[in-house]
Structure 1
Amino acid sequence: MTGLLTAQIALAVATHAMAARGGSWVGRAIWIGMITDVVAVSAMVAITGGSNGPLVFLYTVGALAAGILLSSRAGFRFIALSTIAIVTMDVMTHTHTFGKTTFFPGGLAAVAALWIIGGAGTMFSIYNERELKRQNAELATIRQVTLDIEDSLTLEEIFTDLCRGVVEGFRFDAAALLLWDGDMMRVAASQGTTGSSDMRIDLRGRIANALRMKDALVTSRKEATSDGALIPLLGPRGYLAIPIAEDGLLIVTRDGRKGRPGTLRENEVEALDRLAHHARLAIANARLHAHMSEMAITDPLTGLANHGEMQARLAFECGRLQRYATLRAAGHHLSVILLDIDHFKKFNDRFGHQAGDAVLKGVAAALKGAVRSFDIAARYGGEEFAVILPETTEEAAREIAERIRRSVSMYPFASEDGKSVRVTVSVGIATAPENGSTPAALIKQADASLYHSKEEGRNRVTHALDTERPVARILTMDATRRRRAQGEARARAGARRAPARSSHPRRRTPPV
């Protein structure tokens, strides 16, 4: 007995040492240790009296604990091994009656306890393992979809990745993301739906209330059919609606085909709610990024493109025109319009800067209404504006410039006292390639044409081809005029500083 116990302890220590070293021998070492433990304990139970001995109870309790604590597969193996050991030691310790092996009640009770209690524990382990795998799969899906939508900086990409990730990761039949568009909702993205994208849906009742209350809503097939609002998009199927943003709604559905359950489980609702939280953050970041990007290229007062954006777009259009020239593709033109508000400084001095800001906004509004959708209207600086006209010839540029001039002159400006104020603009045009092919050349020619319009009386349109004087002469005359004005200003300032003449005649000192 002592030798058997010593050998068992030595073998157990050796197998545990092998398991601690790791590697491919870990599983084998553990099973070798378990088998030796069972054999040794079975032998000790047999020596001390078999199934009627004092150790069988401890052996059964230990086997039950091992079967419950082990995984499902290992638990079943251990219970089967323990059953074989109990039967073997019971046969070894009892005699045969009438040529048959007598199985005593103690061994039968031990085997029954093993399979009833240990089997229940093993089934519980199976359920826990499946639940753990499901939760891990859901967390992996949430993580992957979150990474996809966080990598996107546009709302369209976020909406598309979200719908695709929900359908593929959670095994739904269809998903759609809806955004408020006036009194109705517009389909911003969809995956697996029957309706087309950009369709408009009139949502009322429970769904609208859920969206306002920011609560998830599970709707059965019967309720969805009676409502009928989402049938054109999802068909007659139940769905789950989750608010995804301040003005958005994520809707998923599953109809139970393809071997999948049609009902939505509570854990799926919780998982989608967690995913919706990450989606809200991604949507807020995308909208903030879009807002900051728009602010970086937009003039805050007028809402037009700012000077930097205008220069970038003009450089792009000039580069495109030069590529056409390299390919010898004739018939491509680019026109640039510069316009300046006439007597804007006097208007500011008379009515104040707030009225001047209102005029700038009004001119910008008139400019937006007069140009085409693909033209680029910008605030060049101060009271000057610029318009880039891609693929526009000289004649077409003249028509657009004249339309802008008339639109501004007819715009209803009003002063602080409510009186109508008339505002006019002077316009200059340059066209590539006739007047140059670089941004600097086009701006220079359009600016010279603008000054020519001012010289000719303002409130008129001048193309660079209209002026009889070369641009260099115009610029020279402008510089001369500025120097003359500066000289006159200095003369007036000197006259103000000179002492006033006395009305009394000077007394002449007589010579000595």
Structure 2
Amino acid sequence: MNSDRLDSRFQELHNALSPLMQLVCSITSLETAFVTYIDPMLAKQQVAVVYGNGDIHIVAGSEQPWQDSMCRQLFNDDSWLNLNIAQTYPQSVGAKLGMTTFFALPVQYDEQLIGSLCGASTRQQSLSATQLKQLELIAAAVSWLIAKWQRLIKLQQRLHITQQRLEQSYQDRESLKQLAEQDPLTGLLNRRGFAELWQSCTEQDITDGDIAVIALDFDNFKQLNDNFGHQAGDEALKDLALLLQKNTRDYDFAARLGGDEFMLVLPGCKRLEAVQIAKRMQQDYAATQHGKQHSISMGMAISSVGAADDLLLLADKALYKAKNSGRGQLVINTFRL
């Protein structure tokens, strides 16, 4: 499929989703409704279709890191509606856009989170249980369309990669690939390198059984930088990277996804073994120079049926709960089909 055909298919999906967004505004009386596509592997969220009067300037095609998403914050808080965005999420994109009321419902396909159905208003406006039920039905109705959107996005990504590779010689391509997939500070995979290996996990038979994913970051990392300087922060990052490498087998892989966010994937690892590895890393880090003042929190997702993108979201949600439970915590979520 060429790029023109892809553009045509995206337009078809846009045309199918637009009336449903109009229906959301009609049901809720909110100014703006939109639906997003969530890419757990790349940890980003893309606005697929928007309908509204323009008071809240959301643009179709715009992206933001999943880490900063209000949808993520609501889902992790086991909530769906907020009537005071400026106070609850003061640093969010929604607050900057002037939202007061915001709702987000998960869009799932084959029981995996692939997007969100959202509505927003500059006014404070409650929504009833009846309206919630209607919105849940719309979220179910758009799931198949967003699943098709997801497939087109992945196809678009593959075409882009293919075009890049055709433009490079083999030697240059291999050199650039190594540089592009490695974090220069820690020597671990970066987000791009992690995404490629994770995709292999989800597509190959080698991880059809047990697999554990651990999301981890520092408690009060900004305080570490502020109190001891960025060089100390860099040394702490390198110490943690060494512990990740020390505790991995040949077929495990670890990545620094950005800032103080790390991810460790343990194929073929059962729950008890994964918990032992996580606790050992926390203890080993506590014995380092910076570990005496700053701990690390971990969120773990466990599956006995192989890798799926939802594991990344479950690990992220577990980490969110761990950091809200105190310093140096470990929270575990279990993946179920």
Which TM-score band (shorter chain)? 0.3 to 0.5
TM-score (norm. length: structure 1) = 0.30
Higher relative contact order (CA 8 A, sep 6+): 2
TM-score (norm. length: structure 2) = 0.45
Please state which structure has a larger fraction of its residues in helix. 1
Please state which structure has a larger fraction of its residues in strand. 2
